[in-house]
Amino acid sequence: MRSWLTTTDHKRIALLYLGTMTLFFTLGGLLATVIRVELATAASDLVTAETYNRLFTLHGVIMVFFFLIPSIPTFLGNYLLPLMLGAPDLAFPRLNLASWYVFVAGGLLTLTAMVAGGLDTGWTFYTPYSTTFSDSHVVLAVLGVFLAGLSSVFTGINFIVTIHRLRAPGLTWLRLPLFVWSHYATSLILVLATPVLAMTLLLVAIERGLSIGIFDPEAGGSPLLFQHFFWFYSHPAVYIMILPGMGVVSELIPCFSRNRPFGYEFVAASSLAIAVFGFLVWGHHMFVAGQSYFASVVFSFLSFSVAVPSGVKVFSWLGTMHRGSVWLTTPMIYALGFVALFTIGGGTGLALAMLAVDVHLHDTYFVVAHFHTIMVGGMLMAYLGGLHFWWPKISGRLYSERWGRIAAYTLFIGFLLTFLPQFVLGTQGLPRRTASYPPEYQFLQALSSAGATILAVGYVLPGIYLLASLVRGRPAGDNPWGATGLEWRTSSPPPPHNFNKAPVVTEDPYDYPRAPQPTFIGAGDV
Amino acid sequence: MILGIPFELLPAAASATSGAVDVAVFLVFAVIGVVSLGVVAAMVYIVVRYRRRPGNLTGRGHDPATIWRTELGWCALTATVFLGLFTVGAAFFDRIERVPADADALDVAVTAKRWMWSFHHPNGRRELSQLHVPAGRVVRLHLASEDVIHSFYVPAFRLKHDVVPGWLRTAWFRATAPGTYALACAEYCGTEHAVMRADVVVMEPHAYDRWLAQGDDSRPPLAAAGRALFQRLDCGACHESHRRRRAPPLEGLYGRPVALRDGSSVIADDDYIRRSILRPDADVVADYQGGVMPTYAGLVDDDELLLLVAYIRSLADAEGVSP
């Protein structure tokens, strides 16, 4: 126990994060369950409207700040970056451990706010509701999120320095795995954007206590200023969530297609382009908030621009599979699910970037469905795909491939059933964040709730068979998938300092045509 | 109808701009549909055609020239489609945003507060949670919030506009067909946000005139109430045009550009007038001194501000002495 709490080994810290985030994810999922049960009927009958508002707020805060943003970087990134770079650890091991403690402290503050009576501002903390009108625990929650942000700045700095300084001999920039490129882009956003969130949240706390008049119109402030500040972080935060997922998928698809990535340079450059353009689109959250027509047009244009590098990603994944040897293992099913859902999620994002269309769809269920398709459909699929792909490396064991595939398909079907109806609800004009709704929307809402039960099964299954694999799983061997990448050149799980002999890189990445064939033979496969 | 259940993707269109929005919606939905189905179809084809099997255990890859050509071609294709969607969206948005200057437009003051909508008609009639308007006439909404941010959303009109405290915003619609349409608050505003709804009742013009006449006659019209308040606060002491040396005249002001002392200029809209009443030195008019007018913040509430704005708006076509 003590050795875990004082460890500076990036692999152990990654597992600490995995455990902590799994708890937060479970909590966020339970909140979502109550929300979906409540919404199965039109009236607000299971919980009061006041409770409902606290439920969706905490669901959002926990899922965004304590699961989606840290998930892939702090777990898979933490575990894999040094391995992929051929390094013994991250550049600042103690900073890494500190980031986990700060993260836990932030989580505890937020949980305290929840237990003490909750938070009802929505995860967006819009002013003047949050500064003047809410009688819930805004300051506590805001400080919790502030600490979570601080923790991710630590992680971002650590990753940037590690990627610059600790690459193995011969591992040039253009030989970096795409996973590393996407984490580099993510870290840049983490370091540059998170301070703005921190500042904004502190201002909310100060405004609440001292009424300094920066956001409060009564004191001469501007509520829209808050929205500008908030989205200046929170839109790039969307790319903090999705870029690492793209990085994971860019590892899985070449491996299970036995092909080099189609357009490596394009995929790597698109990660950076997304990170840069992602900073310039925040105003698309404010098309109907009363910003000027000119500003709206510019933000709409820039939002379409960010879709071009995203399109490059999808095209490149398809190109990688083309003329490959495509093997539908569990991680690959997740990867393909990601590509399909990211396309739908990104496409519906175009609808929202389109000015006239956004006037109708803004703040409706369409928006809810859109970002859940990117976050749950995209990001979570990638997270689970990565978890399954590297599980043999991390645990040294193979899980049940049969159950893995069943869970992946269950999740995909459950997802579509849950969120496709919400696109329709929004197009029909149902605003989001409502405890009750007019009865004409009941059928689709009930359908969505039914889909959520299937989705829940899809989440519980991996928890069971992955844990079971620790006890019953067959030994995985060093490289069950026949994957390239330095992490597969060491034992499973890797020794404390990762490599018994420091690796030297002499070839380009993803040389799948000449890579060893997989030692793993799944049920019914070649 | 799908499986015997009544089904409409979009609520029936009922305003002058909803048709344009629907065209844009169907256009972008078609693009999303084609792209998503195309990607899924391509994946299914590839998974089947290039499945792992004896004789196909290693990928055959692509040569760099093909990769560069197709990637750049794909970028060009997507950029063109996106540019098209952007242009359509921006052009139609302009029609929604640009408030028409129709002479017979109806100006309705809308006040949002947790958790109800109240409406104030030009002749002074007030109503709560119901808005009666005539079909075929431009209705200009002057939106004010007394507490937090709300959003005025009528799905059938494809109209949504946030109502932000501290600001007065103008939105508009022209309803095309009589009927009752749902108005919902689209911006989360607290406990009863879900039920902050109202009905927009669109009537034939003659029926609307009859409805308006049935109103409570004891209430003065909006502009007259504003004028009374204007006199009670003695604004005319400086703003009546014959004493214009101390303050700019208000006749013919509304909706026109105003040159400011710092060399810039603003349009005298609701928000400008509101701001000038609450923070007179924020935008000092060219040729006038700052520091003359005291702030009226705290002396007039949001409802009264709407009255004052209505009065100044009623002077828009009045003969003023131009400075």
Q: What is the CATH number of the domain that holds B159?
A: 2.60.40.420
Give the closest residue to B200 by CA, choosing from B126, B151, B109, B130: B130
Question: What's the number of domains chain A is made of?
Answer: 1
CA atoms within 13 A on the CB side of A285: 23
pLDDT at A526: 45
Judge if B237 and B257 occupy the same domain: yes
CA neighbor of B59 nearest in space, from A157, A327, A11: A327
Same domain, B266 and B288: yes
On chain A, the residues whose CB falls within 8 A of the CB of B11 are 428-429
User: Shortest CB distance from A428 goes to which of B11, B51, B187?
Assistant: B11
- B245 in a structural domain: yes
User: Complex ipTM, two decimals?
Assistant: 0.93
Angle, helix B18-49 to helix A330-353, in steps of 10 degrees = 160
Report in angstroms the alpha-carbon separations of A30 from A35, A46, B220. 9, 15, 55
CA distance A444 to B258: 51
A102: domain range? 2-500
Same domain, B111 and B198: yes
Distance of residue B209 Cα from the nearest chain A Cα, in angstroms: 30
The one-letter amino acid at B90: A
Which of B151, B162, B181, B299 should one mutate to test binding to chain A, selecting the residue with the greatest count of A CBs within 10 A? B162
Nearby residues of B68 by Cβ (< 8 Å), 6 or more positions away: A263
Whether residue B114 is found in the same domain as residue B204: yes
Closest C-alpha among B236, B311, B164 to residue A227:
B164
Candidates A301, A316, A434, A443, partner chain B, best to mutate (most B CBs within 10 A)? A434
User: Do residues B91 and B121 share a domain?
Assistant: no
Which among A305, A326, A513 is the nearest to B52, CB-wise?
A326
B112 and B193 belong to one structural domain? yes
CB contact under 8 A, B79 and A308: yes
Q: Rounded to whole angstroms, how far apart are CA atoms A240 and A279?
A: 11
Using CA atoms, how far apart are residues A314 and A311, in angstroms rounded to an integer? Answer: 5
A311 and B62 within 8 Å at the Cβ level: the answer is no
pLDDT digits (tens, 9 = 90+) for A92-111: 999 999 999 999 999 999 99
Clarify whether residues B199 and B233 are in a common domain: no
Give contacts of A301 with chain B, Cβ < 8 Å.
86, 90
The span from the CA of A386 to the CA of B24, in Å, is 38
Q: Is residue B243 part of a domain?
A: yes
- Assigned domain for B184 exists: yes
* Secondary structure of residue A428 in the 3-state scheme: coil
Q: Are A466 and A401 within 8 A, CB to CB?
A: no
Which chain A residues are within 8 Å of B32, Cβ to Cβ? 344, 347-348, 350-351
Number of domains comprising chain B = 3
Looking at the fold, whether B248 and B283 belong to one and the same domain comes out as yes
Last residue of a domain, one of B50, B67, B97: B97
Cβ-nearest to B67 among A263, A353, A436: A263
Number of Cβ within a 10 Å radius of residue B60: 13
3-state secondary structure A204-219: HHHHHHHCCCCCCHHH
Q: Cβ A300–B151 below 8 Å, yes or no?
A: no
* pLDDT tens digit sequence for B31-89: 999 999 999 999 999 999 999 999 899 999 999 999 999 999 999 999 999 999 999 99
3-state secondary structure chain B: CECCECCCCCCCCCECCHHHHHHHHHHHHHHHHHHHHHHHHHHHHHHHHCECECCECCCCCCCHHHHHHHHHHHHHHHHHHHHHHHHHHHHHHHHHHCCCCCCCCEEEEEEEECCEEEEECCCCCEEECEEEEECCCEEEEEEEECCCCEEEEEHHHCEEEEECCCCCEEEEEEECCCEEEEEEECCCCCCCHHHCEEEEEEECHHHHHHHHHCCCCCCCCHHHHHHHHHHHCCCHHHHCHHHCCCCCCCCCCCCCEEEECCCCEEECCHHHHHHHHHCCCCCCECCCCCCCCCCCECCECHHHHHHHHHHHHHCCCCCCCCC
CA distance A233 to A148: 14
- Please tell me whether residue A31 adopts helix, strand or coil conformation: helix
B54 contacts in chain A (CB < 8 Å) = 526
Q: Which contiguous run of DSSP H or E holds residue A142?
A: helix A138-165
Residues B187 and B205 reside in one and the same domain = yes
Residue B257 φ/ψ, nearest 5 degrees: -70, 145
Distance from CA of B141 to the nearest CA of A (A): 14
Q: CB distance A351–B32 less than 8 Å?
A: yes
Q: Domain residues for B52?
A: 18-97
The alpha carbon dihedral of A19, A123, A294, B139 has a sign of positive
* Residues from chain B contacting residue A369 (CB–CB below 8 Å): none
Give me chain B's average pLDDT, please. Answer: 89
Does B9 contact A126 at a Cβ distance shorter than 8 Å? no
* Cβ contact, residue pair B35, A347, below 8 Å: yes
For residue B176, what are the CA distances in angstroms to A416, B13, B103, B159?
Answer: 37, 9, 18, 14
Residues whose CB is less than 8 angstroms from the CB of residue B128 and which lie 6 or more positions away in sequence, other chains included: B116, B117, B118, B119
Cβ contacts of A326 on chain B, cutoff 8 Å: 46-47, 50-52
Asked if the Cβ–Cβ distance from A260 to B61 is below 8 Å, we say: yes
Contact state of B56 with A325 under an 8 Å Cβ cutoff: yes
Domain boundary among B62, B97, B132: B97
Average pLDDT per consecutive 10 residues, chain B (323 residues; last block may be shorter):
69 94 96 96 97 91 95 97 97 94 91 93 88 96 94 97 93 96 96 95 94 73 85 83 70 85 86 86 83 84 86 78 42
pLDDT at B323: 37
Query: Which whole-number Å values give the CA distances from B316 to A270, B313, B320, in the listed order?
Result: 53, 5, 9
User: Pairing relation of β-strands B126-128 and B257-259?
Assistant: unpaired
Model pLDDT, residue A461: 96
Kindly tell me the burial class for residue A151, based on how many C-beta atoms sit within 10 Å of its own C-beta (0-12, 13-18, 19 or more).
Answer: buried
Contacts of A472 (CB under 8 A, 6+ apart): none
Cα torsion angle, A457, A462, A465, A471, sign: negative
CA-based end-to-end distance of chain A: 43
Supply the CATH number for residue A453's domain.
Answer: 1.20.210.10
Mutate to test the interface with A, among B23, B35, B193, B199 (most CBs of A within 10 A): B193
With contact defined as beta carbons under 8 Å apart, do A261 and B64 qualify? no
Write the residue in A326, A363, A443 that is nearest to B151 by C-beta.
A363
- Asked whether residue A506 is assigned to any structural domain, the reply reads no
Under DSSP, the state recorded for A516 is P
Asked whether residue A512 is domain-assigned, the answer is: no
Mutate to test the interface with B, among A51, A288, A305, A329 (most CBs of B within 10 A): A288
Query: In chain B, positions 57-76, which contact chain A (CB-CB < 8 Å)?
Result: 57-62, 67-68, 70-71, 74-75
Chain B: give the shortest CA distance to residue A53, in Å: 7
Buried b (16+ CB within 10 A) or exposed e, A222-250: bbbebbbbbbbbbbbbbbbbbbbbbbbbb
User: Is the residue at A513 inside a domain?
Assistant: no
Report the alpha-carbon distance of residue B5 to residue A522 in Å, rounded.
44
Dihedral angle at the C-alpha atoms of A41, A42, A47, A50, nearest 10 degrees?
160
Residue A478 lies in a domain: yes
Q: Do B50 and A325 count as a contact with CB atoms less than 8 A apart?
A: yes
Q: Determine, for residues B21 and A126 on separate chains, whether the beta-carbon distance falls below 8 Å.
A: no
Neighbouring C-beta atoms of residue A189, cutoff 10 Å: 23
B169 and B254 inside one domain: no
**Domain membership flag for residue A507:** no
**Treating both helix axes as pointing N-terminal to C-terminal, what angle do A293-321 and A264-277 enclose, rounded to 10 degrees?**
160
How high is the pLDDT of residue A524? 44
Q: Which pLDDT does position B241 carry in this prediction? A: 60
Residue A520 lies in a domain: no
- Which of A207, A317, A355, A415 has the most B C-beta neighbours within 10 Å, making it the best mutation to test the interface with B? A355
> Last residue of a domain, which of B77, B97, B117?
B97
Amino acid (1-letter code) at residue B262: D
The minimal CB distance from B57 to the residues A308, A336, A526 is found for: A526
How crowded is residue A152: how many other Cβ atoms within 10 Å of its Cβ? 29
Flag whether A508 is in a domain.
Answer: no
Handedness of CA A428, A432, A438, A441 (dihedral sign): positive
Q: Is A482 helix (H, G, I), strand (E, B) or coil?
A: coil
Give every residue of chain A whose pLDDT is below 50, as ranges: 523-524, 526
Co-location of B209 and B238 in the same domain: no
Residue B297 sits in the same domain as residue B200: no
Nearest CA in chain B to A324: B59
Closest Cα in chain B, distance from residue A15 (Å)? 33
Instruction: Say what the pLDDT of residue B6 is.
Output: 62
